[in-house]
Structure 1
Amino acid sequence: MSIDDLPQFEPLPLREPKSEEEEQLFYPEWHCFCCGDSGIVQAHLVRLVMPNYDSDHDKWVACQNWDCTKFSDRWGAVDLSNFDTRFKPDICAKLDKISRQDWRTTISIQVELRKLASSKKMSGAKDRTINDDREVWQRKEEIENLSPQQWAGMRKAYLGGNDG
């Protein structure tokens, strides 16, 4: 058998490629979206299962997502009785999936908002560059550092004549 006899495949991407707009937006790099890699299930996700949950008064919920080790990595030395461990791996996996979908929705909304803002932008307007921002901040600092006497002189030069 020679190499020529082998079939040729295209690689299968692990993730969908991001559009240019999506690349410019924040998207968390967490491994586990249930706990945000903290080991503790995010409070807004806990409330999907326990509507009356209050993270200031109730035990924190341990993340037990199937392949998440952050709880044991960060909190392994703390007695388990200090945590709510009722969220089994299947619940955490569902919460992880919900959170990932929420982030995808957030990104798509942000992309649409940028498109809308761009379409509503005044003609001739452009996005500021880093140098434009630096110049604005420099001018702002210069203005803020003017003395009252300098302000009075500028006022007189601009408006002309006396103050009164």
Structure 2
Amino acid sequence: MTTIFKVPGANRILLETVANDQAGLTSQQVADLTPIAAQCPYSGGEGVYAARALLGNETAYNDFTACGMGSDGGQQIKAPSTSSPSTISFSVYPNPSNGWAIVELKHELESDGKLIVTNTLGMRLYTEALLRGTQAVPVDFDAFQSGTYFVSIVTATGSSSKLITVKK
């Protein structure tokens, strides 16, 4: 499956409508945006969301099918791979969380790294730099909607991910 990442295309169309004081999209602009909007947001990125917003229609996009996760034996949504040279052992609590959560590492980090929170489509929602020696990090989930998220710790020597559920 070939995915075309077209954020510039979506931005170009937005700029054209503003510059030309257009009340709506031309048929050519709709034709350009429609295949972008139908792509998998995980691989197509922000361009997919921009195209959908510009189209502003009532279309229900089936991202599970677009991302190859349909009921026809496609992929399952999985946490990012934890197989790496050195797996980092950590826990996230309380889980489920209704606000703050603590990410606690079993051992201090041996090198600088990052704490990354993503949604189930892999969109990065939060990133925090971690210094060597870090063992616990508070994370504020207040701004997150109820749902399931992945918390990942990534360093030069390894990575690991855990699920957290946010309930409001």
TM-score range, shorter chain: under 0.3
TM-score, reference length from structure 2: 0.23
The structure richer in strand per residue is 2
TM-score, reference length from structure 1: 0.24
Considering only CA atoms, is the larger Rg found in Structure 1 or Structure 2?
1
